[in-house]
Amino acid sequence: MVDKMIRKIRQTNAPIVVGLDPMLSYIPHHIKRTAYEEYGETLEGAAEAIWQFNKEIIDKTYDLIPAVKPQIAMYEQFGIEGLKVFKKTIDYAKSKDLVVIGDAKRGDIGSTSAAYAVGHLGRVEVGSKKYAGFDEDFATVNPYLGTDGIKPFVDVCKEENKGIFILVKTSNPSSGEFQDRLIDGKPLYEWVGEMVDKWGEEHMGQEGYSYVGAVVGATYPEMGRILRKIMPRSYILVPGYGAQGGKGKDLVHFFNEDGLGAIVNSSRGIIAAYRQEQYAKFGAENFGEASRQAVLDMIQDINQALGH
Amino acid sequence: MVDKMIRKIRQTNAPIVVGLDPMLSYIPHHIKRTAYEEYGETLEGAAEAIWQFNKEIIDKTYDLIPAVKPQIAMYEQFGIEGLKVFKKTIDYAKSKDLVVIGDAKRGDIGSTSAAYAVGHLGRVEVGSKKYAGFDEDFATVNPYLGTDGIKPFVDVCKEENKGIFILVKTSNPSSGEFQDRLIDGKPLYEWVGEMVDKWGEEHMGQEGYSYVGAVVGATYPEMGRILRKIMPRSYILVPGYGAQGGKGKDLVHFFNEDGLGAIVNSSRGIIAAYRQEQYAKFGAENFGEASRQAVLDMIQDINQALGH
């Protein structure tokens, strides 16, 4: 799956991923109105609005991008109805040949971590049958519990030809509270990065990159430069571009010299583009077109910064 | 809700929580047979088997215990059908007046962490209405992302009178890889423990305990002793008793001198008791009775160790 992601990045010349993190406040009124007319102001109504919103954004951008990253929290907040739309969104994105990164930040130990891995990336056994629960291509994983938490994911990834991105240095302001603390002279995120490199050895793709990637925030480009070297074979998923303040020029250090090695996420900056002054001319009715233009602008910004 | 938990612990004289972490392999054949006859070897069939299993265990133990802790991974692995049973189990346990700790180990930042908090502990707004998604009483949370990840949970807890348990020192063998590393002479878990104490200040119950608890594994009693002092007002959720090797005598240090301050989890040791030699006499047909006896034995073991 890391090979497919690389192939799609080359095809589109766009090392980017669109974060499908729909908040109801991002969704244009006409979409919500139609959904509430059919289902009422209910969890089903909210889920229907999210689905129509996601579908339009995928329809208007899928030919430009290699991947989408639905953030499961934004669906889970609506309970079962929300999670049905999470699944529906995954399936629809895959039907458009997009790589799907489930941003779940799961992490537990032993058989419990294995259950998460099976539910998101693998297939669960029921008697003599096997079923995929959510069936993303990649999932994000939290490293706080150590190898016991990661190994079950890697095992499932090997079976299913899928991958993970492990949180190393997150994009938020307080990420340094624990992640930046020095241990034997090196910050915790570097220790985690070294483990990511080691975990990845076990499961390499054919393009020189492993199935075990890392999350490193665009908001910390200097740390990105160091982590790039510590984990040369890991793809870096880079959140924090756009709305969180990361700029195209900050991203250079996250890439390898082969021009690969990083995939940059933008969520709000793309999916709620129509609410920005820059794209207001599209109007709420044409929010999908606004998202398409925002994707085109993001690709240009990044490729300019990379000198492509 | 921490006050309700304390009241129920006093009533039952049982500082324990039953972990509802059903693996299909734990579920007696007669339950699975009936479920598969009705729904086939499908995700629905698996979910039905898990539901019947959970219901019987709750029915046979609810009068002895203050709380249950469903592990969401074990449901999430069956996709939507599994999560429906997670919700059904929460609702049923609450109808029996049990405190429900959702073991979700969620953690993200800002509005995303808020979405998890809302989905598990709060109510989400849909137009002019509000709905609870999963509606647990407590959730477990991962601290790796720092205050930005925790604060949105605490905010929802304040609104809803609910609580969280933050992972501090987990019970697994490799938990030390990052958690034990020394930072300015102190292990990371102590730094996290200090933050738990600080985060808890903001939301105190009436019994002297905060709504922000901690997870500390029974397998590390010496660390439990130190963390007990660092977080005197935090309830400690203690996994790792029983199947993972923690013994009653190891638990003493997790409690305060008031006899409160800790709640000990057992999952497999209770819910799959009928498979142990000690409880084999009950037979698979009476697995609920075996679980009841295992609960009684656990209560006795812990109270003996505590000198109650």
pLDDT over threshold 90, residue A307: no
| Model pLDDT, residue B303 | 93
Helix (H, G, I), strand (E, B) or coil at B122: coil
What's the token pair of residue B196? 């738990």
**Does the structure show a pLDDT above 90 at B247?**
no
| Contact criterion met (CB below 8 Å) for B83 and B32 | no
Q: Of all residues in chain B, what percent carry a pLDDT higher than 90?
A: 94
What distance in Å separates the CA atoms of residue B42 and residue A131, rounded to the nearest whole number? 8
This model of the complex carries an ipTM of: 0.97
User: How does DSSP classify residue B236?
Assistant: E
Residue B30 predicted with pLDDT over 80: yes
Q: Is the per-residue pLDDT at B246 higher than 80?
A: no
- Test B108 with A110 for CB contact under 8 angstroms: no
Q: Which H or E run contains B106?
A: strand B99-106
Put simply, whether B70 touches A (Cβ < 8 Å) is: no
Q: What is the pLDDT of residue A245?
A: 73
Whether the pLDDT of residue B54 is over 90: the answer is yes
Please indicate if any CB of chain B lies within 8 Å of the CB of A265: no
- What value does the mean pLDDT take over residues B292-303? 96
Report the distance separating Cα A11 and Cα A278, nearest Å: 28
CA atoms within 13 A on the CB side of A220: 23
Q: How high is the pLDDT of residue A179?
A: 96
Measure CA of the first residue to CA of the last residue in chain B; give whole Å: 25
pLDDT digits (tens, 9 = 90+) for A39-72: 999 999 999 999 999 999 999 999 999 999 999 9
Provide the 8-state DSSP code for B137: S
> What one-letter code names the amino acid at A205?
G
Of B36, B145, B172, the CB nearest to A145: B172
Q: What are residue A266's phi and psi, to 5 degrees?
A: -135, 135
Mean of the pLDDT values across residues B142-151?
96
The average confidence (pLDDT) of chain B is 96
- Contact A95/B at CB under 8 A: no
- Quote the pLDDT of residue A137: 98
Task: Report d(CA A189, CA A177) in Å as an integer.
Answer: 11
Give the active site residue among B105, B151, B186, B247: B105
pLDDT in tens, A141-173: 999 999 999 999 999 999 999 999 999 999 999
Question: How do residues A243-293 score in pLDDT, each as one tens digit?
Answer: 677 778 889 999 999 999 999 999 999 999 999 999 999 999 999 999 999
Segment A93-125, tens digit of pLDDT: 999 999 999 999 999 999 999 999 999 999 999
- pLDDT given for residue B1 in this prediction: 82
pLDDT of res. B207: 94
Residue A247: per-residue pLDDT? 78
B46 chain-A contacts, CB cut-off 8 A = 124, 126
Chain A contact set for B146 (CB, 8 A): 172, 174-179
* Dihedral sign from CA coordinates of B114, B116, B122, B125: positive
* A178 close contact with B: CB closer than 8 A: yes
Instruction: Determine contact, residues A102/A138, Cβ cutoff 8 Å.
Output: yes
Report d(CA B294, CA A303) in Å as an integer.
Answer: 63
Rg (CA), chain B: 19
3-state secondary structure chain A: CHHHHHHHHHHHCCCEEEEECCCHHHCCHHHHHHHHHHHCCCHHHHHHHHHHHHHHHHHHHCCCCCEEEEECHHHHCCHHHHHHHHHHHHHHHHHCCCEEEEEEEECCCHHHHHHHHHHHHCCEEECCEEECCCCCCEEEECCCCCHHHHHHHHHHHHHHCCEEEEEEECCCHHHHHHHCCEECCEEHHHHHHHHHHHHHHCCECCCCCECEEEEECCCCHHHHHHHHHHCCCCCEEECCEHHHCECHHHHHHHCCCCCCCEEEEECHHHHCHHHCHHHHHHCHHHHHHHHHHHHHHHHHHHHHHHCC
pLDDT in tens, A205-245: 999 999 999 999 999 999 999 999 999 999 999 998 976 77
Tell whether the model's pLDDT for residue B242 goes beyond 90.
Answer: no
Cα–Cα dist B45/A137, whole Å: 26
Check residue A184 and give its pLDDT. Answer: 96
Q: State which amino acid sits at residue B204.
A: M
- Radius of gyration of chain A measured on its C-alpha atoms: 19
Q: Which residues 189-218 in chain A show a CB within 8 A of chain B?
A: 191-192, 195
Buried-exposed string A1-23: b where 16+ CB fall within 10 A, e elsewhere? bbebbbebbeebebbbbbbbbbb
Q: How far apart are CA A148 and CA A210, in angstroms?
A: 19
Q: CB–CB of B179/B169 below 8 Å? A: yes
| Token pair in block for residue A62 | 């899928």
pLDDT in tens, B70-119: 999 999 999 999 999 999 999 999 999 999 999 999 999 999 999 999 99
Q: How close B219 comes to chain A (CA, Å)?
A: 14
CA proximity to B151, closest of B193, B214, B211, B199: B199
pLDDT of residue B232: 97
pLDDT per residue over A126-137, tens digit each? 999 999 999 999
Query: Looking at the complex, does the CB of residue A147 fall below 8 Å from at least one CB of chain B?
Result: yes
Which residues in chain A are closer than 8 Å to B174, comparing Cβ atoms? 145-149
Local confidence band at A18 (pLDDT 50, 70, 90 cut-offs): very high
What residues of A are labeled active site? 105
Number of CB atoms found within 10 A of residue B286's CB:
17
C-alpha–C-alpha distance, residues A74 and A267, integer Å: 12
What does the pLDDT look like over B188-227, one tens digit per residue? 999 999 999 999 998 999 999 999 999 999 999 999 999 9
Search chain B and give the residue with CA nearest A22: B112
For residues A103 and A93, the answer to whether their CB atoms sit within 8 Å is no
Q: HSE on the CB side for A233, CA within 13 Å? A: 19
Cα B267 → chain centroid: 9
SS3 content of chain B, % helix, strand, coil (to 5): 55, 20, 25
pTM higher than 0.95: yes
Amino acid letter, B215: V
For residues A19-31, give the mean pLDDT.
97
Mean pLDDT of B179-184: 97
- The predicted pLDDT at position A308 comes to 73
Q: Is A223 exposed, middle or buried (0-12, 13-18, 19+ CB in 10 A)?
A: buried
Q: Which residues from A are below 8 Å from B113, CB to CB?
A: 73
